[in-house]
Amino acid sequence: MQNIKKGTWILRIFFLILLSVLGSCKKYLDVVPDNIPTIENAFTMRSEAEKYLYTCFSYMPKDGDLNSDPAILSGDEMWAYENPPIPEFNHRMFGIARGQQATVNPIGDFHWDNLYRGLRDCNIFLENIDKVPDLQETERKEWVAEVKFLKAYYHFYLMRMYGPIPLIKENLSVDADIEAVRVSRNSVDECFAYIIQLLDEAKDDLQPAITNPGRMLGRITKPIVYALKAKVLVTAASPLFNGNTDMSALRNRNGSQLFNQTFSPAKWDSASVACKQAIDVCLAAGNSLYKFNPSVSLFVLSDFTKTQMDLRMAFTDRWNSEIIWANTQSYTNLIQRVSAAKVDHRYIDNPRVIGELSPTLKVAEMFYTKNGVPLNEDKTRVNTGVLKTGTAADELRIRKDYVSAAANFDREPRFYASLGFDGGVWYGQGSYDETIAANLYYVAARKDKPNNTTVTGYYIKKYVHYQNVQGASVDDYTVNNYAWPMIRLSHLYLLYSEALNESVGPNAEVHKYIDEVRVRAGLPTVTTAWTNFSTMPTKYTTKDGMREIIHQEELNELAFEGQRFWDLRRWKTAIQEYNRKPIQGWDVSQTDPVYYYRTKVIYEQKFTIKDYFWPIKDGNLLVNKNLVQNIGW
């Protein structure tokens, strides 16, 4: 009898491991007996409880990390060498972009394990924080709010990956029976409702801003919670989760439907209200669209360069006024190094700057013309051929008398702020007087070495801080590090325009917030641009037309920030976008511009219904018979 009881106990523990994703059964059985007094001690005093709070934060996914963030190199926004001679990072996430996802050992599946561990520790914190005797009530409420926020975000992250997921509202006891731990997936509506519930419980118990930056940068504030709530509700209202009939066959074992099958306009109403509330809270807390204003300026910059710096530094300037939330688990040293061009050609052989991350040609074409409309809509744009030579009027954008692609001329400021390209100016990097053309750095992609340059002919300037400096030795590349921005105010403005347009149509308020973003980017308003320069001058007057405009504005403004990957999914446009054109670039093996600027197919991507969501690992399905696999896997 004793052996039977012991066997039953071990089986229960085994299922709890799979639910909480705590590692192997042996590891769990080794840790838990020793961990019981550890948990009790963790809440005996404030200082120990604070350590447990930081443990809850430690599970934050590392956004912008090439080894773990699927939004960077798993889509169609950028490309890398498939087999680099000296890999600077693990290329496994890149396998998703190349169609290598599978169910046996899914790429990126460690997020499932990691975030369910995080949810378990968040629940332990919430169950025990009331036991701390020397914790002031105000601080206790703030810590509880932060952990509820983390629970909401961890669930949201898993939802974006897997769709409907099992909700972990509280931890099961160790003596729970087997059926209790064989959890099923909750419906998408149940998941979103719980995430919003947590955010609502947290949003008004936090400070509007960090009061002690030295100790608390990266901690959660009131604006962060309101902004995430807005983003969650916009996601819930989007076609991927709002009436997605393509997912009608996804049901639990008991037949319950996991995706709602009827589009609900009310979800866009709720999203627009949440976005406006978040904007008001952020503005009241001091957030504003970024304007470049260096503390010491030795040189007078042109309006064009200042606009570029407004755009570049809105992303790379640490904790600036536009950043609502930045992830302190994610710093950018690596991604800056593998994105930078070798602009200082005195040190062209420095291997610390390799330019491996390359924007795809379709993304380069996505940016507007200088008139603020898409390339294929600008009625003033004359086709003069593939090549064009830089003139004195282009000198702050493209080197004078240099032959480059015609597509690199007369583009919007975000094109030049985000991309480096052959012949293009790369402002900064130790040379700041733009009045002396000889001092400006230019990209010379055609003169670099094979396999030591960009894959497509473009570089990601947006990631690279303008004060980074390249030197001669292997280790001589100075990087100005910054935490990865998660939500910027411009992003929130565009989410509001999107939600309000879906809710009531393209009214003046919709235009107000998208135009705020456009004017900061050096562009005319939507009305002015489309009326005067577009071949579709009334496009902005309809909901469908304005939707297309807002979507492209989001893709341009947030390019390379890890948003396109998720936005194409939530809009349910990924199949169309991935399949309409292969991954292309210029023929970088050539040096003569006549041959260099020939379009070259790099990879033929295929995206189908199943690719909207990750597969659940076969091993998890084998142990928990109540879990159902995503469609197509």
The string of pLDDT tens digits covering residues 30-41 is 223 344 457 878
Q: Kindly report which listed range (341-345, 444-448, 474-478) carries the lowest average pLDDT score.
A: 444-448
**Is the pLDDT reported for residue 448 higher than 70?**
no
pLDDT tens-digit readout, 585-606: 999 988 899 999 999 999 999 9
Percent share of the chain, pLDDT over 90: 77
**What is the per-residue DSSP string for 446-484?**
GGS-TTSS-SSSEEEGGGS-TT-EE-SSTT-EE----EE
Measured CA to CA, the distance from residue 570 to residue 155 in angstroms comes to 16
- Residue of higher predicted confidence among 9 and 633: 633
Tokens of 382: 């004359």
Non-local CB neighbours of 301 within 8 Å, separated by 6+ positions: 309, 434
pLDDT tens-digit readout, 391-408: 999 999 999 999 999 999
For the stretch 390-396, contacts whose Cβ atoms lie closer than 8 Å and that sit 24 or more positions apart, written own/partner, are 390/423, 395/425, 395/437, 396/302, 396/304, 396/305, 396/425, 396/434, 396/440
pLDDT tens-digit readout, 224-280: 999 999 999 999 999 999 999 999 999 999 999 999 999 999 999 999 999 999 999
Q: Average pLDDT for residues 424-432, to the nearest whole number?
A: 90
pLDDT of 173 reads 79
Q: Please check whether residue 483 is in contact with residue 331, taking contact to mean a CB–CB distance below 8 angstroms.
A: yes
- β-strand pairing of 403-405 with 387-389: antiparallel
Instruction: Decide if 168 is inside a domain.
Output: yes
pLDDT of 37 reads 52
pLDDT of 510 reads 98
At 477, the pLDDT band (50, 70, 90 cuts) reads confident
SS3 label, residue 296: coil
**Is the pLDDT reported for residue 51 higher than 90?**
yes
Q: What is the phi-psi region of residue 385: left when phi exceeds 0, alpha when psi lies from -120 to 50, beta otherwise?
A: left
Q: How many CB atoms within 10 Å of residue 215?
A: 8
Q: Is 90 exposed, middle or buried (0-12, 13-18, 19+ CB in 10 A)?
A: exposed
pLDDT tens-digit readout, 104-131: 999 999 999 999 999 999 999 999 999 9
Nearest to 257 by CA among 198, 192, 196, 184: 184
Tell me the average pLDDT of the chain: 90
Give the dihedral of Cα atoms 474, 479, 484, 485; nearest 10 deg. -150
**Is the pLDDT reported for residue 450 higher than 80?**
no
Question: What total of structural domains would you count in the chain?
Answer: 1
pTM, whole model, 2 decimals? 0.92
Q: How far is CA 324 from the centre of its chain?
A: 14
Q: Please check whether residue 550 is in contact with residue 494, taking contact to mean a CB–CB distance below 8 angstroms.
A: yes
Tokens of 496: 């509001």
pLDDT of 14 reads 39
Instruction: Decide if 96 is inside a domain.
Output: no
pLDDT of 126 reads 98
Q: Average pLDDT for residues 80-90, to the nearest whole number?
A: 82
Distinct helix (H) and strand (E) counts, the chain: 24, 12
Instruction: Decide if 54 is inside a domain.
Output: yes
Measured CA to CA, the distance from residue 544 to residue 367 in angstroms comes to 20
Q: Please check whether residue 558 is in contact with residue 564, taking contact to mean a CB–CB distance below 8 angstroms.
A: yes
pLDDT tens-digit readout, 122-167: 999 999 999 999 999 999 999 999 999 999 999 999 999 999 999 9
Q: Please check whether residue 195 is in contact with residue 174, taking contact to mean a CB–CB distance below 8 angstroms.
A: no
Beta strands in 261-408 (DSSP E): 323-331, 358-359, 387-389, 403-405
What CATH number is attached to the domain comprising 174?
Answer: 1.25.40.890
- Residue of higher predicted confidence among 425 and 441: 425
**Is the pLDDT reported for residue 554 higher than 90?**
yes
Non-local CB neighbours of 293 within 8 Å, separated by 6+ positions: none
The residue to which tokens 């204003």 are assigned:
293
pLDDT of 34 reads 41
At 176, the pLDDT band (50, 70, 90 cuts) reads confident
pLDDT of 383 reads 84
pLDDT tens-digit readout, 493-532: 999 999 999 999 999 999 999 999 999 999 999 999 999 9
**In the Cβ-directed half-sphere of 508, how many Cα atoms lie within 13 Å?**
0
Instruction: Decide if 467 is inside a domain.
Output: no
Instruction: Decide if 248 is inside a domain.
Output: yes
pLDDT of 592 reads 92
Measured CA to CA, the distance from residue 492 to residue 74 in angstroms comes to 24
Domain that holds residue 229: 2-68+108-287
Measured CA to CA, the distance from residue 263 to residue 276 in angstroms comes to 23
Non-local CB neighbours of 136 within 8 Å, separated by 6+ positions: none
Instruction: Decide if 237 is inside a domain.
Output: yes
Instruction: Decide if 327 is inside a domain.
Output: no
CA geometry: angle 437, 443, 444, nearest 5 deg: 110
Instruction: Decide if 354 is inside a domain.
Output: no
pLDDT of 295 reads 60
Q: Please check whether residue 44 is in contact with residue 132, taking contact to mean a CB–CB distance below 8 angstroms.
A: yes
pLDDT of 444 reads 76
Tokens of 157: 């992250």
